[in-house]
Amino acid sequence: MKRVLVTGGAGFIGSHLCERLVNDGHDVICLDNYYTGSKENVWHLIGKPNFEIVRHDVTQPYWAEVDEIYNLACPASPIHYQHDPIQTTKTAIFGIYHLMGLARRTHCKILHASTSEVYGDPAIHPQPESYWGNVNPIGIRSCYDEGKRCAETLAMDYHRLHGVRSKIIRIFNTYGPKMQAYDGRVITNFVVSALKGEDITIYGDGKQTRSFQYVDDLIEGMIRVMATEDDFTGPINLGNPGEFSMLELAELVLELTGSKSKLVFMPLPQDDPRQRKPDITLAKQKLGWEPKVPLREGLQKVIDYFKDRF
Ligand code: NAD
Ligand code: UDP
């Protein structure tokens, strides 16, 4: 049994991770300031002897004796991270800075949740970890993209200078139950609109692509990365290489929901990447991992989850 700190533990991915770790018998501290997460996501875990929940903001130091840290604290959807971009940058950078200090003092492992956004609007397709990215440093997505890039820098420098056992994962678009209905992300927007019979909003021409990973696949990948040897830092891509245009996604959502919603076209947001697809060669070799849940199957689970709510 390990003592594990999950920052952002009451968020979408964090709550799935807490559930997995608690079920595996670990002693879990779920730390969150509820900026975008909610206690409801971990309600079912409260009261278990190996689960505790702490209200705290990672922009401030936090101390606890732990064996492993998963640093997930950061708003992830564009409308959330653009709502208060200065807070987003502070969360990304001060968050990892304080947690690196904790990892250095307790000699624990620390896995940092980075993102495919570090590749920006990529000029290489699919994106391997060796690609340095094409990121606008002053745009409306920069608070998130550059915050996450700087966090990777700190994770590597603490590793090189102080021997911290840092591990960086680059998560590609992930979806599943417990996403927030109104987080503005494409899966939730399409599913909720289809279920309510409202128009489905396609930004731009809808030909831009994304790769969608079901949350259970990601959690398995994260656990495997944490279990790698001490000097394995990554970065390592965790994503599903299946690539879909937003038009294809919309058609699939309409088919699975049986909805009669219409597609309406709206302007493409600034700096919206044209394409994104992970190269997961490293994850396959290093972790023996690859995603198992196809989009059709994962989407059905999300539709079932939201059906009860709308
Ligand atoms: P989420 O918004 O549901 O979860 C983030 C959690 O962090 C929330 O519970 C929020 O309240 C908490 N938080 C935010 N700022 C905080 C702060 N200053 N102090 C403490 N807690 C704070 O998002 P998610 O989709 O679960 O993303 C989790 C992590 O994974 C994020 O770091 C995100 O950047 C990364 N990621 C997610 C995706 C994805 O597709 N969901 C893709 C790439 C990377
Ligand atoms: N998108 C869309 N309609 C929506 C929401 C998003 O067409 O209602 C598009 C968005 O412009 C982007 C893609 O879907 O090209 C994925 O957007 P999301 O915000 O989910 O993720 P990210 O852009 O961060 O990968």
Q: Which domains are delineated in the chain?
A: 3-175+213-238 (3.40.50.720), 186-209+242-276+293-307 (3.90.25.10)
pLDDT at 308: 84
pLDDT at 63: 96
Tokens of 188: 């939730």
- DSSP H or E segment with residue 81: helix 78-83
CA of residue 71 to ligand 1 center, whole Å = 9
Contact predicate 166/96, CB 8 Å: no
Pick from 160, 29, 156, 142: nearest CA to 96? 156
As a whole number of angstroms, the distance between CA 150 and CA 168 comes to 12
Spell out the residues 6+ positions from residue 269 whose beta carbon is closer than 8 angstroms to its own.
78, 140, 203
CA of residue 261 to ligand 1 center, whole Å = 30
Average pLDDT of span 249-269: 97
144 included as an active-site residue: yes
Find the catalytic residue in 62, 70, 81, 144: 144
pLDDT tens column, 68-114: 999 999 999 999 999 999 999 999 999 999 999 999 999 999 999 99
**Surface-to-core class of residue 154, CB atoms within 10 Å of its CB (0-12 exposed, 13-18 middle, 19+ buried):** buried
Q: Report the DSSP pairing between strands 109-115 and 263-266.
A: unpaired
Tokens of 189: 């927007």
- Whether the per-residue pLDDT at 219 is higher than 90: the answer is yes
Helix (H), strand (E) counts: the chain: 9, 13
Give me Rg for the CA atoms of the chain: 19
| Mean pLDDT for the chain overall | 97
Contact predicate 11/218, CB 8 Å: no
Residue nearest atom 15 in ligand 1 by C-alpha distance: 74
pLDDT tens column, 126-151: 999 999 999 999 999 999 999 999 99
Residue nearest atom 13 in ligand 2 by C-alpha distance: 186
pLDDT at 255: 98
**How far apart, in Å, are the Cα atoms of 219 and each of 15, 145, 185, 291?**
10, 22, 20, 10
CB of residue 111 inside a 6 A radius of ligand 1: no
Residue nearest atom 4 in ligand 2 by C-alpha distance: 186
Helix axes 215-226, 12-23, angle to 10 degrees: 60
CB of residue 186 inside a 6 A radius of ligand 2: yes
Helix axes 142-162, 85-106, angle to 10 degrees: 20
Residue nearest atom 19 in ligand 1 by C-alpha distance: 57
Tokens of 146: 């550059």
- Whether the per-residue pLDDT at 310 is higher than 90: the answer is no
User: Which residues, listed in sequence order, are joined to residue 237 by a DSSP beta bridge?
Assistant: 170
Residue % of the chain over a pLDDT of 70: 100
What ligand has the least distance to the C-alpha of 210? 2
pTM of the model: 0.97
CB of residue 113 inside a 6 A radius of ligand 1: yes
What ligand has the least distance to the C-alpha of 151? 1
What ligand has the least distance to the C-alpha of 6? 1
Average pLDDT of span 286-290: 98
CB of residue 29 inside a 6 A radius of ligand 1: no
CB of residue 213 inside a 6 A radius of ligand 1: no
CA 193 to mean position of chain CA atoms: 23
Q: Assign 271 a pLDDT band (cuts: 50, 70, 90).
A: confident
CB of residue 201 inside a 6 A radius of ligand 2: yes
As a whole number of angstroms, the distance between CA 130 and CA 281 comes to 12
**Would you put residue 293 in left (φ > 0), alpha (ψ -120 to 50) or beta?**
beta
- DSSP H or E segment with residue 69: strand 68-71
**How far apart, in Å, are the Cα atoms of 4 and each of 50, 153, 163, 196?**
10, 23, 20, 40
- Give the position, in ligand 1's atom list, of the atom nearest the Cα of 90: 18
What ligand has the least distance to the C-alpha of 78? 2
Average pLDDT of span 25-40: 98
As a whole number of angstroms, the distance between CA 179 and CA 78 comes to 14
Cβ atoms < 10 Å from Cβ of 115: 22
Q: Which residue has the tokens 């309409």?
A: 254
Say which DSSP state 269 is in: P
Tokens of 120: 């920006």
CA of residue 180 to ligand 1 center, whole Å = 12
CB of residue 277 inside a 6 A radius of ligand 2: no
Contact predicate 34/196, CB 8 Å: no
CB of residue 78 inside a 6 A radius of ligand 2: yes
